[in-house]
Amino acid sequence: MNQNNTKAEEAAKQDLASSPKMEIGMLQVSSDIKLRHMVYHPAHSKATVLFLHGFPESMYTWKPIAESLSNDYEVHAFDWPGYGQSSRPSTDRFSYSPKDYAQVLEQYIRASRIDSSKLVIYATDIGALPVLLAALEQPHIAKKIIVGDFAPFNRPHYMWENLAALKSKPSSDVVRAAMNQTRDEILANTFFRDNPTEERYTLPQEFRDDIAKWWDGDITAADAFYHYYSHFTRDQDYFEANMSKLKVPVKVVWGEKDSYIKKEMGVEFAERNNLKLTILPGLGHYPHLQAPKQTADELRAEIEG
């Protein structure tokens, strides 16, 4: 055999051995909750990153960013209960509130045996308040938390009117029914509300297929969102009253053109808690989908900074 061929084959084997290993599976985190999760295992990990998705998303939201980080970091993402392939228990067993999601997050970290001292959590939309609530109860839940494009406080004037309408009855019932009846329209247009038609970005087909496939069920994604909002004001008020107790370093990242939850919400949250704030020029409510490379670079800088 040619010596050059032998060296090439050995190099290929070494590259394969050192490339990150990706696993997708189901993880039982409590008697009622099983989560679909995605994990990237690099040969040598500098830290662990956990991504928490929003509405109407799934763990596949994070796949492009996870892949770009996976050579250096162990990366985790999972479907919240009510989304993707994760459990959808009845509301008499699970309320789908931010506080319930906070408990799920704590359970996932324990069940995955993640070393919290090396963990950075990036959470957006409905994933952000739960991680902050969890941090109030578990001061060492992570080394750093990055949150963005969410509503830490009860400020309806900062929110799109349809979101604000979900916070109380009877308007919430009307919005819930409309969301369940217009799935295809929501999945086609929700991610682009902040962008003129000519500026629409491309969503990965794998992600589009996933959120469409797993929207339905006894508890739909729209139902889970509705139940989350039915407890939202209570959990926002609790967080605002206790946020001074946060011990974990928090960074705030916000899309400048977010029309669902205006950047002024992020500015208030950051200023009141003396947090680092980055406003992403030209980006909307889903910067991780609109500009995944920029989001990954921002995250890498926070991990290594």
Cβ count within 10 A of residue 243: 18
Query: For 80-90, how does the pLDDT look when each residue is reduced to its tens digit (9 = 90+)?
Result: 999 999 999 99
16 has pLDDT over 60: no
Query: For 154-187, how does the pLDDT look when each residue is reduced to its tens digit (9 = 90+)?
Result: 999 999 999 999 999 999 999 999 999 999 999 9
Query: Amino acid identity of 14?
Result: Q
In whole angstroms, give the CA distance from residue 88 to residue 223.
10
CA-derived radius of gyration, the chain? 20
In this structure, what is the dihedral angle of CA atoms 25, 213, 59, 291, given to the nearest 10 degrees?
A: 150
Query: For 30-46, how does the pLDDT look when each residue is reduced to its tens digit (9 = 90+)?
Result: 999 999 999 999 998 99
Q: Using a cut of 0.95, tell me whether the model's pTM lies above it.
A: no
In whole angstroms, give the CA distance from residue 87 to residue 201.
31
Query: For 66-114, how does the pLDDT look when each residue is reduced to its tens digit (9 = 90+)?
Result: 999 999 999 999 999 999 999 999 999 999 999 999 999 999 999 999 9
Query: For 201-244, how does the pLDDT look when each residue is reduced to its tens digit (9 = 90+)?
Result: 999 999 999 999 998 889 999 999 999 999 999 999 999 999 99
pLDDT of residue 12: 43
Q: What b/e sequence results for 178-206 when a residue is b if at least 16 CB atoms lie within 10 Å of its CB, and e otherwise?
A: ebbeebeebbeebbbebbeeeeeeebeee
C-alpha angle 144-145-149 in degrees, rounded to nearest 5: 155
Beta-strand (E) ranges in 29-96? 34-41, 47-52, 73-78
Query: Amino acid identity of 223?
Result: D
Top CATH class, 19-304:
alpha beta
Query: Amino acid identity of 10?
Result: E
More reliable by pLDDT, 215 or 7: 215
Average pLDDT, the chain: 93
pLDDT of residue 96: 98
> Domains of the chain: which residue ranges?
19-304
Measured CA distances, 152 to 220, 233, 234 (Å): 24, 10, 11
